[in-house]
Structure 1
Amino acid sequence: MVSDYNGYWRMISNENFEEYLKALDVNVAIQKIATLLKPDKDISQDGDHFIIKTLSTFKNYNMDFVVGQEFEEDLSGVDNRKCMPTITWDGDKMVCEKGEIEGRGWTHWIKEDELHLELRAAGVVSKQVFKKA
């Protein structure tokens, strides 16, 4: 049974994010701003269809996808890349491998009342944790 990701989630921790942004070769000014933010996530799930909104005072970012189907992801304003990822299930974890940078991807999962996000790129791992609001 896949977890219910629906809800509004507030960030409670963000580890190693600046190193992750460096691995993506993100502009230094954006790195500094991004590491100060504590974005929220607003997730709507209908079966395998997800809309994940990442909300902050700096920039909002939306992903609309169906697990198992390739989609265009536009990362304008972050690292200015577009890629065509496919998100898959690994048990009750959502896994995304992007491929345009070695080892780039992410994994989302729910443990108790927390939403976990592991971000990966070029051997660097950042971990974020959100609590349901």
Structure 2
Amino acid sequence: MPASLCGTWDIISNDNLDGYMTAIGISPSLQKIALKLKQRKMIEQRGDKYTIKTVCTVRSYTISFRAGEEFEEITQGLDNRHLKSLVTWEGNKLVCQQTGEKKNRGWAHWIEEDKLYLELYCEGEVCTQVFKKKGNK
């Protein structure tokens, strides 16, 4: 069984966010603002339903889904695209494949030691974010 992703997580590192944002079509002016923001993730699980909230001072984004069930997603507040998304467990990773205007788009969350990792990818660009659980030193 994979480690629980649940909890409140604060970002501690962010590698290639600008490359990822360019790939999904975020304007350079918005990228400059986004690169300065500190993100917090709140992940909840109730039965087989997951909710992931990404919160920062300017915008927040919430996604809810059931693993193994395709759903329609509008990336409101991000790049505002209409996608079909499918989240599944692949080993210890919660992986999302997104189908829409952009090719090879998705993300993966997993735990290593006491950190939450998020890999965002789109059209060959990969951003890796690392979070620590709120309250952990």
Indicate the TM-score class for this superposition, using the shorter chain for normalisation.
over 0.9
Q: Secondary structure at the match of 1:85?
A: strand
Q: Post-superposition shift, 1:46?
A: 2.7
Q: Secondary structure at the match of 1:41?
A: strand
In 2, are the aligned partners of 1:30 and 1:78 still within 8 Å (CA)? Answer: no
1:22 aligns with 2:43: no
1:14-37 per-residue CA deviation (whole Å, 9 max, x = no partner) reads: 000001000111122221111111
Q: Post-superposition shift, 1:10?
A: 0.4
In structure 1, the residue matched to 2:76 is 76
TM-score by length of 1: 0.95
Q: How does 1:86-105 map to 2 (within 5 A)?
A: 86-100=86-100, 101-105=102-106
- Partners of 1:53 and 1:22 in 2: how far apart? 22
In structure 2, the residue matched to 1:121 is 122
Structure 1 unaligned blocks of 5 or more? none
Q: Post-superposition shift, 1:38?
A: 1.5
Runs ≥4 residues deviating over 6 A:
none
How big is the alpha-carbon RMSD for the aligned residues of Structure 1 and Structure 2? 1.1
In 2, are the aligned partners of 1:67 and 1:88 still within 8 Å (CA)? Answer: yes
- Partners of 2:31 and 2:54 in 1: how far apart? 17
How many residue pairs end up in the alignment?
A: 133
- Partners of 1:86 and 1:121 in 2: how far apart? 15
In 2, are the aligned partners of 1:118 and 1:126 still within 8 Å (CA)? Answer: yes
Q: Post-superposition shift, 1:2?
A: 2.3
In structure 1, the residue matched to 2:32 is 32
In structure 1, the residue matched to 2:12 is 12
Counterpart code for 2:15:
E
In structure 1, the residue matched to 2:112 is 111
TM-score by length of 2: 0.92
